[in-house]
Amino acid sequence: MSKAEIFNTICTEIKKISENDTLNLTPETVIEEISDWDSLNNVDLEMALETECKISFEVGEFEELTTISQMATALEKKVN
């Protein structure tokens, strides 16, 4: 997967989980600052990305990633 594909996957999953297609997401978007985002959404996102990208996160690893860009970089390392 290329970085652009990973970025798109993350954005698609976030929109699906928050049930909001109109979200304006950029690499700098801080996940926790997305309107109405909570810890349940965060686990949903973590597990969705694990399934989509066929990778797994260690306990505590996902919490370190605060922006979409950090998430994409971490996923890129794991996927490739």
Distance CA(68)–CA(74), nearest Å, equals 10
For the record, the structure tokens of 37 come out as 């985002």
Does 39 participate in binding another protein (rule CB under 8 A)?
A: yes
Does 36 participate in binding another protein (rule CB under 8 A)?
A: yes
**Residue choice 46, 53, 73, 77 for contact with another protein (CB under 8 A):** 46
CA 34-28-10 angle, to 5 degrees, is 65
In terms of CB distance, is 21 or 36 closer to another protein? 36
How many residues bind another protein, per CB under 8 A?
Answer: 16
Does 35 participate in binding another protein (rule CB under 8 A)?
A: no
Distance CA(11)–CA(76), nearest Å, equals 15
